[in-house]
Amino acid sequence: MKNKSLAIIVRGYPRLSETFISQEILALEKLGLLIEIYSLQPAGSQLVHSVHEEIAAKVIYLPEFPSSHLGRMWRAFKGARKLSGFNRAFGIFVKDLRRDFTITRCRRFAQAIVLACELPEDTGHIYSHYLNRPTSVARYAAIMRELPWSFSAHAKDIWTTPEWEKREKIADAQWGTTCTRFGRNHLAGLAPMGEQNKVMLTYHGLDIPRFPKPPQRRKMRDGSDPENPVRIVSVGRGVAKKGFDDLFNALGLLDPALNWTFVHIGDGALLDQMKKQVNDLGLTDRVEWLGAKTRDVVISTLRSSDLFVLASKIDAAGDRDGLPNVLMEALSQKLPCLATDVSGIPELINHGDSGWLVSPGDPERMAEAAEKLIKNPELRKKLGDAGYKRLKTDFTLDKCLLQIAERFGVGPEED
């Protein structure tokens, strides 16, 4: 990649819920990579994290709805037809379209045409985040331009993309990576015979120096004082896979004599439904809704809380979390975590040591665990200290980014 630029394809940019992508981009820039970001759609929010403001890469928005950008599309199409790989890419698109006859598939090919024609001449590699739509665009464009390409897979994209599509993308890619061992084993099993190592395990890791040091001492709240309730917090979008319905049902099962408050940070399609559930359970006075917030607000809230809870589960469509970054953010502040043993979460949290795990979709078990942790501040401290130690040992950004950096030729050997 020396003297070449890297094109990174993302769904939307910048996104508050995708700090793992932005911290990776910034880290790669600091290692010397020249980067351009291509987004399939606008971010959808005016809020940005401080990390976004530090990224120097230019952001180009591909036409989300090509029919609204006919001039740009026409110029791109005229140029794309002259590219040496256009006919091969078009043939693959037609084959894909026969199995997935949707307007979305057509939009992705149209976006790939624009991408292929607008990439700078010095582009040396195309790298996409998410194995579904961004990788479709990256793959088609890379074939048109005859460029190497790779992907980073995460959560929903792994579990809701058809198997035929995953197999063919993995076969075509130079390499791929994903953020959990659970996901990596699944994708490696779809790789061509003898090419399982094409798919790497790369945890996102956390850029710990960007975070404040953990609070020196938390108040030893145990739920007995109505003037000093235990503060519980969760951060996540209001979507089914986050399991907030199970979490609120669990909170509704807690001993009424316990004193606690709950703070939710995030937006999402199910937010109104979540608020109604809280009201129906009679918990309105105990729950605070902060909405979507920047990382600074998130960290401040984590620092003032006693327990982080995440009730992730597999939704009806098969979607699930990978390894939610917010768990690492909580551990960065020595905040003990109660979570479910879904996907890659047990890869970070060892039950009873660096956190507490229960089965997904089981409000009764979650209520039992929450009540135990609310009443036992010494146990919370033990879990928080151990979780912080595990984070610093195995999940730092510099350690986790090493494989990707070396693939792009900016590993430590070149420092």
Please write the tens of the pLDDT for every residue from 58-106: 999 999 998 889 999 999 999 999 999 999 999 999 999 999 999 999 9
Q: Which of 216, 388, 230, 392 is nearest to 309 (CA)?
A: 230
Q: What is the pLDDT of residue 45?
A: 66
Q: What is the pLDDT of residue 410?
A: 87
End-to-end CA distance of the chain: 14
Indicate if 209-394 has the same CATH topology as 5-205+396-414: yes
Q: How many residues does the chain have?
A: 415
Q: Which residues pair with 309 in a beta bridge?
A: 338
Q: What is the pLDDT of residue 253?
A: 98
pLDDT, tens digit, for every residue of 110-152? 999 999 999 999 999 999 999 999 999 999 999 999 999 999 9
| Cα distance between residue 306 and residue 213, in whole Å | 16
Phi, psi angles (nearest 5°) of residue 243: 70, 30
Strands 199-201 and 230-235: unpaired
| Cα distance between residue 324 and residue 312, in whole Å | 9
Enumerate the domain spans of the chain: 5-205+396-414, 209-394
Q: What is the pTM of this model?
A: 0.87
Contact 79, 117 (CB under 8 A): yes
| Cα distance between residue 251 and residue 367, in whole Å | 6
Architecture of 5-205+396-414 per CATH?
Answer: 3-Layer(aba) Sandwich (3.40)
Q: What is the pLDDT of residue 2?
A: 67
| Cα distance between residue 324 and residue 154, in whole Å | 10
In the chain, which stretches have pLDDT less than 50? 413-415
Helices and strands: H and E segment counts in the chain: 18, 13
Q: What is the pLDDT of residue 252?
A: 98
Strands 123-129 and 58-61: unpaired
Burial degree of 281 (CB within 10 A; 0-12, 13-18, 19+): middle
Q: Which of 277, 348, 364 is nearest to 308 (CA)?
A: 348
For domain 209-394, the question of CATH label 1.10.10.10 is answered with no
Q: What is the pLDDT of residue 304?
A: 95
Q: What is the pLDDT of residue 414?
A: 42
Q: What is the pLDDT of residue 50?
A: 79
| 222-234 as b/e: b if 16+ CB within 10 A | bbeeeeebbbbbb
| Angstrom distances, CA of residue 71 to CA of 68, 74, 130, 154, 230 | 9, 5, 29, 34, 58
| Cα distance between residue 395 and residue 389, in whole Å | 10
